[in-house]
Structure 1
Amino acid sequence: MRSTTVFIARPVFPDIIDRLRPHFDVRTHDGEAPLSQPELIAALQGCAGVFITGSEKIDATLLDACPRLKAVCTMAVGYNNVDVPACTARGVVVTNAPGVLTETTADFGFALMMATARRISESERFLREGKWKHWGVDMFAGGDVHGATLGILGMGRIGQAIAKRGHGGFDMKVAYHNRSHLAPDVEASLGATWMALPDLLRAVDHLVIVTPYTPETHHLIGAGQIELMKPTATLTNIARGGVVDDAALAEALAAGTIAAAGLDVFEGEPTVHPALLALRNAVLTPHIASASVPTRRAMANLAVDNLLAALGAGPDAGRPPTALNPEVLG
């Protein structure tokens, strides 16, 4: 088994990567920046498996250049950077890391929504810049969260966890849009009502976006959709860059079409649209929704579990726990 080589595409907790060493020859990329596509192809020569994050692009070109590759295991839950059909056609198993980051990501999404509604980042900058000279009745007055209408776009695990926080903790009215309706008992437990997207956008005080990024959801929220929202509403995106048209959002924020936005993900990240950087009513964070130490460790451990199993090692040999295309396993 030690003749099998795997590649770790980003620096990861060393003790977790050490779990692979009794079974495989392990190569690592130790730089902070992700590898370019040509660099990744070069690094994967002779490798049977690769551990990736959400930054490395796995497409047909790479797969054809790395014919020994048999397993692509990401520690992220999203996998829009991996061409799963191309992997399936070549017999390459793909795994992701769902479930282990649900609660931590929901915590962050709710926190980002609250920071956006209550103008926390804007008021902190005001204080740090030495501008606080007196108190005023309307100083940084934002919108209430308790009792408001929470809209959730994408009602998977994370969306439901956010709904639970809003309904159970803040007495919010919960509306959602999803490709399919939740079961009636789940809707009832979350106090959630399905709405068509235009109706959802008109109704909500705070919109939180958690939908996966696919060709169908590219720019799902653009200028036309934002115009349907209340001028007092906020928008929070913890899904993926590209679900929201960042340029259109920046224009809407500057014009006061909506009150504020909280963004953890961006089109073309780590590049951020310069207009967003200049806005006082945009709360911006660098894709850290799952960034607690316990959760990031759990994500990495699940990716290692998958890599071991996909290449025939460990207690789940031949049965990766979270395969996206298990049909390739036979």
Structure 2
Amino acid sequence: MARKRLSVVVTRRLPEAVEKRMADLFDVELNETDEPMSRDALASAMKRADVLVPTLSDTIDQALLAQAGERLRLIANYGAGVDHIDVGTARQRGILVSNTPGVSADDTADMAMAMIVSLSRRLPEGVRLMAAGTWEGWSPSAMLGRRIAGLRLGILGMGRIGQAVARRANAFGMEVHYHNRRRLHDDIEAELTAKYWESLDQMVSRVDVLSINAPHTPSTFHLMNARRLKLMKSDAVIINTSRGEVIDENALTRMLRAGEIAGAGLDVYEKGSEGNPRLRELENVVLLPHMGSATVEGRIEMGEKVIINIKTFDDGHRPPDQVVPGML
């Protein structure tokens, strides 16, 4: 007798190739509308599924986990970040959690570098000038930006993405500095030609560009608070492609408006998709709709990792990308 297939509920639309492969392997329930599930819909899914495949748009907290059915044994997150999942409570209830690390490092680093170039060379202002039809012709002193080569880049969070940003910065001739929870091995520092700063305060006060690549955890919430933002040079720019909660967005907005920070490139926001509306009024910002990992290749690779995690679990083994509270 054939073994009963796992019941898998996917909360958002995934690439067609990924959904087809899942359907071949499991009893899959897809979200045809691609609208985020309500809490009631999530609770219902967690009662009837063996495996839930959520995304960062789904908040799987303690209250929701308390409503999970006896069948639910794996939350196979589609994405690397798991700050939207109460991993500790899931573990207490015997529910494993997995993620998709390492897939989007290069894609996100590309986006961080694109924003560094955009802000340093004032591309958003140039685009708006041309779109408005108000350009009056070339001038030796018009639209002067900063040369990328020689700028000091500070990287906050030197994991896979931070290191990918450092490699790109090296190619542009930038001087790489970093602050991390743990110092990198000497060989990696040498490869990246990166200088370690134990003091984040000292690093941010010296760099021309600050790239945020740290996950959202209790220890990184508002790590770039008003006090620390004020340490930055007035001609410095800040880039965030990680999690919005790492920056005090209201403080950043005030300082951008006052000219105390030269610019900001944000792909993430403190309140999800609800970026501070005052940011949209500013010319010295690049605001993106969480596009850092948005490549066809990356999304398919993420789906493949989800499938491997589920299949490995179904075969009675620990998912290769299992997340445990001690890792956070």
Q: Are 1:129 and 2:132 counterparts? A: yes
Q: Which 4+ stretches in 1 moved above 6 angstroms?
A: none
- 2:48 pairs with 22, 39, 46, which one? 46
SS in 1 for 2:214: coil
Match of 1:249 in 2: 252
Q: Are 1:321 and 2:324 counterparts? A: no
TM-score with structure 1 length normalisation? 0.93
Tell me the CA shift for residue 243 of structure 1: 0.5
Q: Structure 1: how far apart are the matches of 2:227 and 2:38?
A: 35
* Alignment RMSD: 1.6
SS in 1 for 2:153: strand
Match of 1:7 in 2: 9
Cα deviation digits, residues 172-225 of structure 1 (max 9, x gap): 111111111111111111111111111111110111000010111111112211
- 2:303 pairs with 289, 300, 315, which one? 300
Cα deviation digits, residues 130-186 of structure 1 (max 9, x gap): 11122233322222211110100000011011111112x122111111111111111
User: In the alignment, is the contact (CA less than 8 A) between 1:158 and 1:210 conserved in 2?
Assistant: yes
User: In the alignment, is the contact (CA less than 8 A) between 2:15 and 2:299 conserved in 1?
Assistant: no
Cα deviation digits, residues 35-94 of structure 1 (max 9, x gap): 122221123321110112111111222222112211111121111001111111111111
User: In the alignment, is the contact (CA less than 8 A) between 2:221 and 2:246 conserved in 1?
Assistant: yes
Q: Structure 2: how far apart are the matches of 1:153 and 1:143?
A: 22
Cα deviation digits, residues 235-293 of structure 1 (max 9, x gap): 00001011011111111111111110000000112111111111110100000111111
Q: Structure 2: how far apart are the matches of 1:5 and 1:260?
A: 48
Q: Structure 2: how far apart are the matches of 1:110 and 1:291?
A: 15
Match of 2:65 in 1: 63
Q: Structure 1: how far apart are the matches of 2:297 and 2:74?
A: 25
Instruction: Give percent identity, aligned residues only.
Output: 37
User: In the alignment, is the contact (CA less than 8 A) between 1:226 and 1:257 conserved in 2?
Assistant: no
Q: Are 1:272 and 2:282 counterparts? A: no
Tell me the CA shift for residue 14 of structure 1: 2.5
TM-score with structure 2 length normalisation? 0.94
Report 1:174-193 matches (<5 A): 174-193=176-195
Q: Structure 1: how far apart are the matches of 2:16 and 2:325?
A: 28
Q: Describe the shift of the 1:28–1:90 C-alpha distance in structure 2 as closer, same or farther (beyond 3 A).
A: same
Instruction: Judge which range, 283-292 or 129-138, deviates more.
Output: 129-138
Q: Structure 2: how far apart are the matches of 1:133 and 1:2?
A: 70
- 2:27 pairs with 25, 35, 44, which one? 25
Q: Describe the shift of the 1:114–1:304 C-alpha distance in structure 2 as closer, same or farther (beyond 3 A).
A: same
Match of 1:141 in 2: 144
SS in 1 for 2:294: coil
Cα deviation digits, residues 3-23 of structure 1 (max 9, x gap): 531101000122212222244
Match of 1:85 in 2: 88
Q: Structure 1: how far apart are the matches of 2:5 and 2:114?
A: 47
Tell me the CA shift for residue 308 of structure 1: 2.1
SS in 1 for 2:53: strand
Matched positions, count: 322
Q: Structure 1: how far apart are the matches of 2:307 and 2:44?
A: 22
Match of 2:312 in 1: 309
Listed as ranges, the gaps of 5+ residues in structure 2 are none
Instruction: Judge which range, 31-40 or 46-55, deviates more.
Output: 31-40
Match of 1:263 in 2: 266
Match of 2:119 in 1: 116
Amino acid at match of 1:293: V
Match of 1:34 in 2: 36
Amino acid at match of 1:21: A
Q: Structure 2: how far apart are the matches of 1:199 and 1:102?
A: 27
Tell me the CA shift for residue 326 of structure 1: 10
